[in-house]
């Protein structure tokens, strides 16, 4: 029995076959299936030209017709279907400007980056593996299809992909491939930052990123990536970082990269993510000096606090998460946000007869802090009294 996402996609292969074309599952999904690793999306390769694919299925979306890719919507699920192709005309270590469509599966597999990614599976479950990908999977090896030197000169991004697969799969680079990354690393400076960033994000999400980060240093690749200092990566690679999430990794790297102001901007992270991590960096700096208190936890919010604490624990080489303590402290908070405070700016204006202004924020901040620290209960009348006593009006 195939995993459900393959089962669900089988009719897509069969429809292409019935129309007289070849069609296979390819790429990461087949690799992950052979590794018994969960994946979500399956990629399909076919001998049908993009226009022919569109003629077979009623619902399609053009995503990259010039590269031969059509998205087919089948049972409400999108599938990327790419026409067999060989790539030509590499310029300046970048992706080819034109592609040639072909009808040979083997040639299509040959243009793929690594042997583990150059395996196809047909609709009967038959494996087509002309470059020994399965045996490299078993040996846990990342090896280019054909000469590493040529393949990395064609597309320098592949070097970054090699390091990214180390982080996801716990594989090592085969020695020729590794040597070639060492020799050609400088060429990744010609690769568009968006492509590098997509790979780096996957690297930072990988369960085996520790070794992968060490490899960025050992191969010298890091020198050609934006804003990554050697000492920062060396520190990260010396810590138990495999357990950290992508956001926690950014938090760690940002924290360690003092003076590298625009690290996350260089990597073109979404501004919402930059904001979240920048805020967390401040709480992490505080956490390095002192324990959590109620008010700091309130200001951070529980999910930021979890991220901060996890990175703090990694920096301290602790194998405990500290989650339970944080949860307990959070449970004790009388309020979790300003909206839960029993008084509002309007109350203050009504009680004092004064009009709005910065004084309101100041009093609300103080009141909030007093409520959180259980100096006063979160109760309108008591707060009013307390404010009077404190001479705040």
Q: Retrieve residue 288's tokens.
A: 């390095």
Residues 350-379 that bind ligand ATP (CB under 6 A): none
What residues does 45 pair with on adjacent strands? 24, 82
Q: CA 270 to CA 288: how far, in whole Å?
A: 27
- What's the closest the beta carbon of residue 278 comes to Mg ion, in angstroms? 31
| CB-based contact 221:233 (threshold 8 Å) | no
Q: Does 28 bind Mg ion (CB under 5 A)?
A: yes
- What's the closest the beta carbon of residue 43 comes to Mg ion, in angstroms? 6
- What's the closest the beta carbon of residue 117 comes to Mg ion, in angstroms? 9
Complete DSSP assignment for 177-197 = HHHHHHHHGGGGGGS-HHHHH
Residues 106-125 that bind ligand ATP (CB under 6 A): 112-113, 117-118
- What's the closest the beta carbon of residue 267 comes to Mg ion, in angstroms? 21
Other CB atoms within 10 Å distance of the CB of residue 374: 12
Q: Does 185 bind ligand ATP (CB under 6 A)?
A: no
Using CB under 6 A, pick the residue from 12, 16, 25, 27 that binds ligand ATP.
27
Q: Does 144 bind ligand ATP (CB under 6 A)?
A: no
Using CB under 6 A, pick the residue from 9, 16, 42, 43 that binds ligand ATP.
43
**How many Cα atoms within 13 Å fall on the side-chain side of residue 8?**
14
Q: CA 357 to CA 345: how far, in whole Å?
A: 10
Instruction: Characterise 43 by phi-psi region: left (phi > 0), alpha (psi -120 to 50), beta (else).
Output: beta
Residues 200-239 that bind ligand ATP (CB under 6 A): 202
- What's the closest the beta carbon of residue 222 comes to Mg ion, in angstroms? 25
Q: Which does 155 bind (CB under 5 to 8 A by kind): ligand ATP, Mg ion, none?
A: ligand ATP
Q: CA 207 to CA 187: how far, in whole Å?
A: 27
Is residue 213 helix, strand or coil? helix
| CB-based contact 207:245 (threshold 8 Å) | no
**Distance between first and last Cα of the chain:** 73
Q: Which does 322 bind (CB under 5 to 8 A by kind): Mg ion, ligand ATP, none?
A: none
Nearer to ligand ATP, 199 or 310 (CB): 199
Nearer to Mg ion, 28 or 78 (CB): 28
- What's the closest the beta carbon of residue 168 comes to ligand ATP, in angstroms? 7
Nearer to Mg ion, 39 or 296 (CB): 39
| Footprint on this chain of ligand ATP (rule: CB under 6 A) | 27-28, 39, 43, 112-113, 117-118, 155, 157-158, 202
């Amino acid at each position: 029995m195939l995993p459900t996402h393959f089962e669900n996609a089988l009719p897509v292969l069969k429809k292409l076959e019935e129309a007289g074309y070849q069609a296979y599952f390819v790429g990461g999904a087949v690799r992950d299936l052979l590794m018994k690793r969960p994946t979500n999306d399956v990629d399909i390769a076919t001998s049908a030209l993009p226009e022919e694919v569109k003629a077979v299925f009623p619902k399609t979306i053009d995503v990259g017709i010039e590269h031969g890719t059509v998205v087919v919507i089948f049972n409400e699920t999108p599938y990327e279907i790419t026409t067999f192709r060989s790539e030509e005309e590499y310029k300046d270590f970048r992706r080819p400007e034109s592609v040639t469509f072909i009808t040979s599966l083997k040639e299509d597999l040959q243009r793929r980056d690594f042997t583990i990614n150059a395996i196809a599976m047909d609709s009967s479950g038959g494996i087509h593996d002309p470059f020994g990908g399965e045996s490299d999977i078993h040996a846990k090896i990342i090896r280019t299809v054909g000469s590493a030197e040529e393949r990395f000169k064609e597309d320098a991004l592949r070097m970054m992909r090699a390091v990214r697969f180390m982080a996801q799969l716990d594989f090592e680079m085969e020695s020729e491939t590794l040597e070639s990354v060492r020799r050609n690393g400088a060429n990744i400076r010609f690769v568009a930052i968006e492509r590098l960033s997509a790979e780096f994000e996957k690297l930072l999400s990988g369960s085996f990123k520790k070794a992968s980060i060490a490899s960025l240093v050992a191969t010298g690749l890091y020198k050609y990536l934006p804003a990554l200092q050697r000492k920062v990566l060396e520190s990260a690679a010396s810590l138990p970082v495999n357990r950290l999430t992508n956001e926690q990794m950014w938090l760690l790297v940002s924290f360690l990269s003092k003076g590298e102001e625009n690290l996350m901007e260089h990597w073109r992270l979404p501004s919402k993510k930059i904001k979240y991590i920048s805020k967390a960096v401040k709480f992490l700096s505080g956490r390095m000096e002192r324990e959590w208190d109620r008010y700091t936890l309130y200001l951070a919010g529980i999910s930021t606090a979890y991220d901060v604490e996890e990175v703090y624990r990694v920096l301290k080489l602790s194998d405990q998460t500290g989650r339970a303590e944080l949860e307990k402290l959070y449970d004790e908070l009388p309020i979790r946000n300003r909206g839960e405070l029993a008084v509002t700016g309007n109350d203050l204006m009504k009680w004092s007869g004064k009009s709005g202004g910065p004084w309101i924020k100041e009093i609300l901040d103080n009141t909030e802090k007093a409520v959180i620290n259980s100096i006063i209960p979160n109760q309108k009348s008591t707060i009013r009294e307390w404010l009077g006593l404190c001479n705040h009006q």
